[in-house]
């Protein structure tokens, strides 16, 4: 490519395919159909392209990845989970292990917050189980793809395909991390292998001095593309977050202005919620970023 022609930041995304990428996409779909792996209601072009981008448009590797994903969905019972799973212990879990979607960032991405500082695993498992936490995690990923992203895309007027994640490590010690590391490892593998290319921005905040030890454990779980999207921040994270997230969309206890009645972690505020459809990001109209 000539040096005076900038690379398309959305290359490999719908509407931004080179002739070669378009050919690989068509061949990918055909081969999946021939092998009875293709699921029309789920495998639209945007989904197939997520798997192709995750494997740098290597057709064989992308095919192996999506085939493995379909086998996992059957083994895990994802379709049944969507239809039947309930999580009545949500309020109790929230007091110890808050994990929630809340409004959107300046590029229209849904914001996902996870806070480990209050986690007491022994207490947590008095009213839920590791298996149920993982099922809830998968269900939230499904809702992220089928409800949250489409709603965000409609509001901002362009396709939104990824999240803006905040992982809060305030008050997290080594012992606390090792209590939950198996769950985090399972969740990380599911996110990377079964729901690829869904991470847009990832901020680790309040990272304590011992985080270098924790990072040595976490980093091998992640692929190179994921690692490059992660910003590790200490305690002075507020300005960095506010560059990406409108103050009115960021919870007050994370440095923003939002104070949802009943708490942001239980509000499910955002354009995907009928009660909060007016809650949207203040997007920069001249920004062109991979969504």
With beta carbons less than 8 A apart as the criterion, state whether 196 and 141 touch: no
Q: Identify any residues that bridge with 258 across adjacent strands, giving them in sequence order.
A: 251
- 27-46 pLDDT, tens digit each: 999 999 999 999 999 999 99
Distance CA(103)–CA(163), nearest Å, equals 11
pLDDT of residue 145 exceeding 80: yes
- Band of the pLDDT at 1, cuts 50, 70, 90? very low
* pLDDT value at residue 4: 53
The rounded percent of the chain whose pLDDT value lies above 70 is 91
Residues 4-13, mean pLDDT to the nearest whole number: 76
Distance CA(247)–CA(202), nearest Å, equals 17
Residues 170-194, mean pLDDT to the nearest whole number: 82
Q: Identify any residues that bridge with 201 across adjacent strands, giving them in sequence order.
A: 164
Residue given tokens 């900038």 in the structure block: 6
CB burial readout 260-269, b (16+ within 10 A) else e: beeebbebbb
Q: Which of 189, 177, 164, 190 is nearest to 217 (CA)?
A: 177
With beta carbons less than 8 A apart as the criterion, state whether 115 and 168 touch: yes
* pLDDT value at residue 6: 57
Distance CA(116)–CA(167), nearest Å, equals 8
- Band of the pLDDT at 81, cuts 50, 70, 90? very high
N- to C-terminal Cα separation, the chain: 23
* pLDDT value at residue 159: 93
The average confidence (pLDDT) of the chain is 89
- 36-79 pLDDT, tens digit each: 999 999 999 999 999 999 999 999 999 999 999 999 999 999 99
Residues 256-266, mean pLDDT to the nearest whole number: 95
- Please, what is the Cα angle at 142 between 147 and 136, to 5 degrees? 120
CA distances from 111 to 79, 150, 252 (A): 25, 14, 14
pLDDT of residue 224 exceeding 90: no
123: Cβ contacts below 8 Å, ≥ 6 apart: 96
Please count the residues of the chain. Answer: 291
Domains of the chain: 19-76 (1.10.8.20), 84-276 (3.40.525.10)
The rounded percent of the chain whose pLDDT value lies above 90 is 70
With beta carbons less than 8 A apart as the criterion, state whether 238 and 163 touch: no
* pLDDT value at residue 283: 45
Q: Identify any residues that bridge with 217 across adjacent strands, giving them in sequence order.
A: none
């Amino acid at each position: 490519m000539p040096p005076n022609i900038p690379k398309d930041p959305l290359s490999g995304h719908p509407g931004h395919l080179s002739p070669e990428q378009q050919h690989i996409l068509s061949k990918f779909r055909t081969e999946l159909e021939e092998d009875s792996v293709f699921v029309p209601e789920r495998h639209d072009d945007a989904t197939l392209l997520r798997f192709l981008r995750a494997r740098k448009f290597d057709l064989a590797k992308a095919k192996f990845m999506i085939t493995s994903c379909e086998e996992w969905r059957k083994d895990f019972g994802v379709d049944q989970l969507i239809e039947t799973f309930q999580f009545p212990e949500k309020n109790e879990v929230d007091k110890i292990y808050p994990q929630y979607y809340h409004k959107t960032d300046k590029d229209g991405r849904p914001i996902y917050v996870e806070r480990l500082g209050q986690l007491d695993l022994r207490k947590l498992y008095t009213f839920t189980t590791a298996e149920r936490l993982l099922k809830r995690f998968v269900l939230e990923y499904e809702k992220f793809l089928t409800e949250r992203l489409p709603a965000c895309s409609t509001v901002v007027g362009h396709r939104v395909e990824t999240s803006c994640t905040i992982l809060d490590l305030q008050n997290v010690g080594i012992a606390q991390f090792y209590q939950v590391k198996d769950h985090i490892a399972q969740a990380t593998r599911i996110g990377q292998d079964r729901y690829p290319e869904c991470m847009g921005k990832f901020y680790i905040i309040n990272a304590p001095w011992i985080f270098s030890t924790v990072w040595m454990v976490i980093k091998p779980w992640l692929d190179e593309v994921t690692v490059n999207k992660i910003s590790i921040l200490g305690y002075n994270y507020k300005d960095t977050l506010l560059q990406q997230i409108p103050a009115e969309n960021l919870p007050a206890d994370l440095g923003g202005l939002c104070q949802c009645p009943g708490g942001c972690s239980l509000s499910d505020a955002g354009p995907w919620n009928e009660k909060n459809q007016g809650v949207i990001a203040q997007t920069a109209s001249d920004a062109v970023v991979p969504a």
